[in-house]
Each structure stands twice: as C-alpha cells, then as structure tokens.
C-alpha cells in the first residue's frame, strides 16, 4: 500500500499508463481501525472517491489533508469482505500491508464506507478482479506525469494488434439475373462431370431401376474360325 502517490495537484486520480479504471464511486469514507498505532495521516477518517483498476484499489481524498491518496494492490490485501450492518451504510473491510517504499510501514485494517450506496457492486467486482489478478504478478507501477488541468484519467494504452473483422458474405447474383459466363475460362471438374453424365444418359433409355437395358439390335451370328489344316 502506498500513500499520496496517486493524486494530482488538481485532486484527480493518477494511475499507471498500462491500467484502466474499471469502476469508481464518490461519497466514500475511508476509516482505519485502531488508528492510534498508525501514522498521523491515518488517524482521521477521510471522504472522497474510490477507484478500481485490474490490479489495485485507489482512494483519493477531498481537500489538502495529510492523506491525499491511498493505493492498495490486491496482493497486499487480506481478509477482504463486504459488510451490511442493520444500521448504517454498507462497507468493505480488510487488512492491508504496507508496500516497500510506500510512505509508511506495518499493516492496517481499513473500512471503505459507501454513504451513497454501491458497496456490494464495488465489492463483488473487486473480489472477482482480485481473483483474476492472482493468476499472475501485477505489472511494475510507473507513475505518469500529473496533468494540472487536463483530463481526469490518463489516456488508455494504444491498441497494438490488428483489429478483428468479419469476412464479407459470399457473392450471390440478384434474382432474375444469371451469373456471367466467360467462355475462355476452362471448365471446372464439376462441369466436366455433369457433361459426362449428360452424355451417358443420352445414350441410354430411361427405365425404372428394376429393369436392365438391352440393345434392340441382334448381335451377328457366331461363326467359328476356319481351320488352317483344311486350307
């Protein structure tokens, strides 16, 4: 978990150029349990917005307090669950460990309280995304230069593969129009087979399949060959 590395001067969120925002909610309160043993920046609850990327959860607080942003990679979060109290807003609770060089040390139990709703939707998507991310290590986190007055999110990564497309349908001649015939082109094997079949059928009478065709002309009479001894 890193502290104050994901917010711009204008109060927007800063993410890795290779990642994208999957879901975000406003009116979210970040609370740390047993905050007395944590750094000063963690001891007061903060209100702001929460963002979900394919590898982390990022909280960006409103105002200019000591805690401006809070990033939690999935591989550092443990025991995350969705709570639905009878009284009060739904929230997400879990334990997060500090990231080396993240601006603090140790571990902390956090709550993300969704005052305007969305805890269940965000929590379910978060758990599913974390499970998918656990199949491989997260990519190296590089922070782009913050834009003071630009867009709220950085541009998505460029698409470096060929776009998929459907092949065009096969050509079919319009109704009432015969396809063009080019006499110079050689006939195909299918056309030759049809021509041979037509020639064979022309020389035979059309009979039921139980009959056998016999020629009408009688064969010439049989005469044995002359004996050479009698010559």
Domain ranges of the chain: 2-9+20-133
| Coarse DSSP helix, strand, coil percentages of the chain, rounded to the nearest 5 percent | 20, 25, 60
Task: Indicate if the pLDDT at residue 162 is higher than 50.
Answer: no
- Least confident range from 27-31, 33-37, 188-192, 212-216: namely 212-216
- Least confident range from 116-125, 149-158, 188-197: namely 149-158
For residues 194-205, give the mean pLDDT.
56
Per-residue pLDDT band for 111 (boundaries 50, 70, 90) equals: very high
Cβ 53 vs Cβ 15: under 8 Å: yes
Q: Which residue has the higher pLDDT, 8 or 191?
A: 8
Cβ 76 vs Cβ 100: under 8 Å: no
Phi, psi of 97 (to 5 degrees): -100, 155
Per-residue pLDDT band for 41 (boundaries 50, 70, 90) equals: confident
- Least confident range from 172-176, 199-203, 212-216: namely 172-176
> Which string of b and e fits 65-96 if b means at least 16 CB within 10 Å?
eebbbbbbbbebbeebebeeeeeebbbbbbeb
Q: What is the CATH number of domain 2-9+20-133?
A: 2.30.29.30
Q: Rounded CA gap, 3 and 68, in Å?
A: 8
Q: What would the two tokens of residue 147 be? A: 């834009």
- Least confident range from 35-49, 85-99, 209-223: namely 209-223
For residues 10-17, give the mean pLDDT.
82
For residues 157-175, give the mean pLDDT.
43
């Amino acid at each position: 978990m890193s502290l104050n590395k994901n917010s711009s001067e204008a109060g927007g969120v800063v993410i890795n150029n290779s990642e994208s925002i999957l879901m975000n909610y406003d009116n979210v309160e970040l609370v740390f349990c047993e905050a007395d043993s944590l750094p000063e920046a963690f001891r007061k609850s903060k209100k702001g917005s929460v963002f979900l990327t394919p590898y982390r959860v990022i909280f960006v607080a409103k105002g200019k307090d000591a805690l401006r942003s809070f990033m939690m990679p999935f591989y550092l979060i443990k025991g995350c669950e969705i709570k639905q109290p009878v009284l009060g807003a739904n929230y997400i609770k879990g334990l997060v460990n500090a990231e080396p060089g993240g601006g603090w040390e140790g571990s902390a139990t956090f709550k993300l309280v969704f005052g305007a709703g969305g805890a269940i939707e965000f929590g379910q998507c978060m758990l599913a995304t974390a499970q998918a991310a656990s199949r491989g290590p997260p990519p190296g986190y590089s922070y782009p230069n913050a834009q003071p007055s630009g867009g709220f999110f950085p541009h998505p990564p460029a698409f470096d593969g060929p776009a998929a497309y459907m092949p065009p349908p096969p050509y079919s001649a319009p109704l009432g129009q015969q396809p063009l015939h080019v006499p110079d082109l050689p006939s195909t094997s299918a056309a030759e087979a049809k021509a041979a079949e037509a020639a064979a059928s022309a020389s035979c009478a059309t009979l039921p399949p139980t009959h056998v065709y016999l020629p009408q002309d009688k064969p010439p009479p049989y005469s044995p060959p002359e004996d050479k001894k009698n010559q």
